[in-house]
Amino acid sequence: MNDELNDLLEKHGLKKTGPRVKVLSVLKLRDTAASQPELEEIIGKEIDRVTLYRVLTAFEEKGIIHKVLDMNGTAKYAVCDSSCTDKQHKDEHVHFNCTLCLNVYCMDTLHIPQLVIPAGFTSQVVNMMVYGICDKCNLKLKG
Amino acid sequence: MNDELNDLLEKHGLKKTGPRVKVLSVLKLRDTAASQPELEEIIGKEIDRVTLYRVLTAFEEKGIIHKVLDMNGTAKYAVCDSSCTDKQHKDEHVHFNCTLCLNVYCMDTLHIPQLVIPAGFTSQVVNMMVYGICDKCNLKLKG
DNA sequence: TTATTTATGCAACAAAGTTGCATTTAATTA
DNA sequence: TAATTAAATGCAACTTTGTTGCATAAATAA
Ligand SMILES: [Mn+2]
Ligand SMILES: [Mn+2]
Ligand SMILES: [Zn+2]
Ligand SMILES: [Zn+2]
């Protein structure tokens, strides 16, 4: 797996540093998006807070991860589709924010419906967030 | 107009105080959503920062205004449809966030398309934000 | 191996939002 | 109208998320 991470960094022209490999490996293993504070808690003081922010920013700029804002306005990050580059993100999928566990899921199979917006306005990116109860929380409730 | 504002506060069971009338009148006159920091700048030190937050929270809970997060995760508020109550917000319209002037517009005529979400997940509220160039900024660019 | 470029760590700062508590004000009651 | 009561306000202190400047360290290139 470490090879895979190194390749991904190299492919996007980023130096293979300890913090970058670590952050990328954590994000790759998750099925929900992670914020800087969450990553800080997972990784511990091994990586500086500021470095974490800068790693995330670098990854986003290169198209390795994409940013989603949760219901509190906190930035959360998830790994991108492999077709993303520094020129263009192709993550036009719906996101789901669980109101119980607060996790943010990438609904990779749900693409965002087309919209006809009013004359005069120009659309660049569209963002769709569904708030509700996720599958795991529903199981806990009903089970 | 002041009568209208007083009626609105009374209708939702809120005391008619100076700060509340002032904030509501400012929000009513705008065509874009306003954040606490923006309102603070508009209104000045006449109203305390914390009071502003509490007025906005009270308005939101009663269904007088609704909250939208802009591209930076900052909460912005706009007046609700008159059918909103403390039981239920009926603001299921699309929002537009201009990437130049950063204003957030309520697209009252654009309702959010229906989505079929995966089994196991339960949807409560759906949020749709279009990022792009607003009509005013487009005019400045082309004009 | 040395030079060069880039990333990291630390300290300090900033913006947005929250909490506790004493004081004031609006609405209610007498 | 005046006293009462419940709620709202103002102020100070705090928290969380995110940024910036700068010296040091590490990765890649020569
Ligand atoms: Mn995603
Ligand atoms: Mn709206
Ligand atoms: Zn959940
Ligand atoms: Zn604009």
Residue A122: its chain B contacts at CB < 8 A? 132-133, 138
pLDDT digits (tens, 9 = 90+) for B54-86: 999 999 999 999 999 999 999 999 999 888 888
Structural domain span for residue B32: 2-142
pLDDT digits (tens, 9 = 90+) for B80-119: 988 888 888 888 899 999 999 999 999 999 999 999 999 9
Q: Which residue, among A102, A70, A77, A103, has the nearest Cα to A91 in the 3D structure? A: A77
Q: Is the CB of B74 under 7 A from strand D?
A: no
Is the pLDDT assigned to residue B13 strictly greater than 80? yes
The total of structural domains in chain A comes to: 1
Is the pLDDT assigned to residue A47 strictly greater than 90? yes
Q: What is the CATH number of the domain that holds B51?
A: 1.10.10.10
Is the pLDDT assigned to residue B1 strictly greater than 70? no
Tell me if B96 sits within 8 A of B130, measured CB to CB. Answer: yes
Those of residues 62-91 in A touching chain B at CB distance below 8 A are 69, 71-75
| pLDDT, chain B, mean | 95
Q: Is the CB of B86 under 7 A from strand D?
A: no
Q: How wide is the angle at C-alpha B8 spanned by C-alphas A131 and B108, nearest 5°?
A: 45
Residue A91: its chain B contacts at CB < 8 A? none
The Cα B89–Cα B80 span in angstroms is 8
Ramachandran angles phi, psi of B116, nearest 5°: -100, 110
pLDDT digits (tens, 9 = 90+) for A17-39: 999 999 999 999 999 999 999 99
Tell me if A60 sits within 8 A of B85, measured CB to CB. Answer: no
For position B90, what pLDDT does the model report? 85
pLDDT band at A1 (very low <50, low <70, confident <90, very high): low
The Cα A7–Cα B57 span in angstroms is 48
* CA distances from residue A100 to A32, A103, A137, B125 in whole angstroms, order as listed: 14, 8, 7, 14
Q: Who's near B71: CB < 8 A, 6+ residues apart?
A: A69, B97, B99, B102, B131
The Cα A107–Cα B126 span in angstroms is 14
